[in-house]
Amino acid sequence: MAYAVTKPSTGAPGMPRDIFTGQDADDVATYVASVAGLDASGQIINPANPPKPGPPGGAADGKTVFATAGCTGCHTLKAAGSTGTVGPNLDEAKPPADLVVDRVTNGMGAMPPFSGQLSAEQINDVAAYVVNATSS
């Protein structure tokens, strides 16, 4: 919970880090989930048994990186609502994670390297997102 609140996808300033920790953070997340009514996939949640938040990182954070690092301007990816045509259509290419990590880190052709702009964690997160979004 602290990760999503301190780095909201809206770009608005987040809450102070660690305003809630441990069980308090879990309790706040549980409350928010129960009043929201839907889980991340849009399914109705049971208020008596709401989902627990996952740890930061992975495909969820990768979606934010994809949207904010400029990926949408060059790549088509249906899950991101992007229709760029400079780079490969990721829905068609279905690249494996190691290839995404390599291309985002080192660049190739028209794609610049992002190793100086994104952390290794952000690069791994965006790779997880692309693989997850194109695996269906």
| Domains and their CATH numbers in the chain | 1-54 (no CATH), 59-134 (1.10.760.10)
Beta bridge mates, 89: 76
Instruction: Give dist(CA 131, CA 136) in Å, integer.
Output: 9
Cα gap 95→110, rounded to integer Å: 17
Assign 54 a pLDDT band (cuts: 50, 70, 90). Answer: low
CA dihedral 17, 19, 25, 27 (to 10 degrees): -150
Task: Write down the pLDDT at residue 28.
Answer: 74
Q: Which residue has the higher pLDDT, 93 or 136?
A: 93
Distance, CA of 63 to CA of 42 (rounded, Å): 17
pTM tops 0.75, yes or no? no
